[in-house]
Structure 1
Amino acid sequence: MLGLQYFRFEELWTPMFLFGMAAIVILYYYLIGPWREKNAPEADAATKLQKFMFVSAAIMFYMVHGGPLNLLGHLMFTFHMVNMSVSYLVVPPLVLLGVPSFLWRKIFSAPFWKKLSFMMHPIICLLLFNILFSVYHVPIVHDYVMTHFSVHRLYYFILLVTSFMMWWQIASPVPEWSRLSDVKRMAYVFANGMLLTPACALIIFAKTSMYAIYSDPNVWVTAMGYCVSGDPSRLLESFSGPQFFNIMDVVEDQQLGGIVMKFVQEIMYGIILAYIFKQWFKREHKDDELPNTNTGTA
């Protein structure tokens, strides 16, 4: 159970967050159903695959930010990296592809969005996400963010927004808004992989514990204050610190976390590369599939 039996139901499952995610899923089905039929009847209906991707993204996002994985992320660095991987490498492309293009057009139809269009330049999106993600894993930054609630929420929100901006360039849900050709999108994926590698390598090859919240009981208790009710210092009366819950050595846990991050990154980028290549291949061979209309005799 990895120590989860020591925590209360509401600490493990965060009911209010669950209700919030359920409301988002209900709103999604309303928008692609009754709202579309009334306001955009000419738009294509959401496919079963799109519905599956969106609901899957909602479930995963809940699990890593409101479910048991959120709590486990404060006990073991490996689970923290699972949460980061799911939040910023898995959920955004699923949401982008799961929401029908007519909804994206409606959401960004307001004129004021054009004033912010410069922020969607592919290079800006590429650098913003990767710099913010890499800086977050600098030990002093990571420990500060994890132990200051307002900063924690703000930094995670900005990371989520920039991850959507970055993934938009790759999995553009509105074809006519895409700024990159298929070949450039594939290069963009490779660039993302290269920029994330140093942060992963730093974690994987470190020989000592880098993050105080997984080795210092007092820092850990401060971070746990966002997961448990009441005075978090009570945890030290029963447990020695995060090591009590960790089934591995702190450094081994840290290294495994870096490996998990790199593994998920490679899997997701591999899948998206295959998706882009498939789209490119279909477009390049579309003319070959058309019937030949010039077969008549002169």
Structure 2
Amino acid sequence: MEVILNQFDFTTKWNGGILLLVLFLINIYLFLLPKGKEDSIKKTILFISGLVGLFIALGTPVNILGRVTFSFHMIQLVMLLLVVPPLLIVGFKKGILEKIPSIAPVQKGLYWLTNPFISLFLFYGMFYLYHHPPIFDYVKVDYYLNYFYLFALFFAAILLWLPLLSKNALMAKAKQRYCLANIILIIPLFLIYLLSKESLYTVYTDIGMLTAALEYCIPDWDTLPKEFFAELLPFNPLNEQKIGGSILISGHAVVFGGVMIKNFRVKEN
């Protein structure tokens, strides 16, 4: 990985635009949003940690490595969809959240979108669609479309987490079933990656597609020889696919399994 990253300059590996966005959001959270009695230092730390996680997923070398290897693509998604959203939701200022549902159109929209069946269908429908090989290869070679889809998935992940983290959304047993559903729904994709006899995604095996995927990441990419891009494909794509699938299922099991255990302990107490 270090050899690969050494091929890129600093501005390619570290996205200044994402960093500025994160710093902007931190300043708004700390200095512009009103603070309530329940907005503790702990909540502030959680929210800022979520924003830092967002930067790590989208603005650090993790993003570049996700374009080169499938395993890092899954690491990026686990952070962006399973780690960052709950941190932001739990850490967000409660007073602001309480005012949002008072707006009638927003209340109706949130009520519909955060319905457990709708949120599950929306998130996993988008997730499976994104990883359908022709769509995945097409999205990955387009710099802006890839970011757009990632942010769309991130928004769907926020909706996915709201029924779990909102106090009045689901009862304890329903939350347990909801967590279990999240784990079960990802198993078919994991099995596809595990049992597949060949690489599903051309973008990780074809030098031409890899070049197109990295076009906007490298300022002087058109002056580089093909040998440069050939050096970025040292990994067995089929093995990477299995590793990526394992990271995906492990992330779901750890995160949603942890939530299930926490809810169970709260219920016992």
TM-score (ref. length: structure 1): 0.83
Q: How much is the aligned-residue C-alpha RMSD, in angstroms?
A: 1.9
The 8 Å contact of residues 80 and 257 in structure 1, kept in 2 or not, is answered as yes
Counterpart code for 2:128: S
Corresponding residue number in structure 1 for 2:53: 60
Structure 1 stretch displaced more, 23-32 or 232-241: 232-241
Change (3 A) 1:24 1:203: same
Residue 217 (str. 1) matches residue 217 (str. 2): no
Matching residue of 2:256: 269
What is the CA–CA distance in structure 1 between the aligned matches of 2:95 and 2:265, rounded to whole Å? 23
> 133, 136, 152: which is aligned to 1:142?
136
Percent sequence identity is 25
1:25 is matched with which residue?
Answer: 26
Secondary structure of residue in 2 paired with 1:44: coil
Q: How does 1:122-141 map to 2 (within 5 A)?
A: 122-141=116-135
Question: By how many angstroms is 1:235 displaced?
Answer: 5.5
1:273-292 pair list within 5 angstroms: 273-282=260-269
SS in 2 for 1:6: coil
Q: 1:151 to 1:15 in 2, by over 3 A?
A: closer
Q: Over residues 205-244 of structure 1, what are the superposed CA-to-partner deviations in whole Å (9 max), with x where a residue is unaligned?
A: 222111111100001111112322244572624231531x
Post-superposition offset of 1:262: 0.9
Aligned to 1:7: 8
Retained in 2: the 8 A contact 1:217–1:241? no
User: Could you tell me whether the CA contact under 8 Å between 2:39 and 2:94 is conserved in 1?
Assistant: no
Structure 2 Cα separation of the partners of residues 91 and 106 of structure 1: 23
Report Cα offsets for 1:181-221 as digits up to 9, x if no partner.
11001101101111111112111222211111110000111
Q: CA deviation at 1:256?
A: 0.6
- Helix, strand or coil for the counterpart of 1:226? helix
Q: How do 1:109-120 residues align onto structure 2 when only pairs under 5 Å count?
A: 109-116=102-109, 117-120=111-114
1:1-298 superposed matches below 5 A: 1-31=2-32, 35-36=34-35, 43-116=36-109, 117-172=111-166, 175-176=167-168, 178=169, 180-232=170-222, 234=224, 236-240=226-230, 242-243=232-233, 246=234, 248-282=235-269
Q: Is the 8 A contact 2:210 2:229 kept in 1?
A: no
Per-residue CA deviation, residues 23-77 of structure 1 (Å, 9 max, x unaligned), is 1112111256xx22xxxxxx32422332222122111111111111001111111
Which residue number in structure 2 is paired with residue 296 of structure 1?
none
Tell me, which stretches of 5 or more residues in structure 2 are unaligned? none
Higher helix share: 2
Q: Which runs of 4+ in 1 moved over 3 A?
A: 230-233
Which stretch shifts more, 11-20 or 99-108? 99-108
Counterpart of 1:61 in structure 2: which amino acid?
A: L
Aligned residues: 267
With over 3 angstroms needed to count, the CA separation of the structure-2 counterparts of 1:115 and 1:207, relative to structure 1, is same
Cα distance between partner residues in 2 of 1:268 and 1:146: 26
Q: Which has the larger radius of gyration?
A: 1
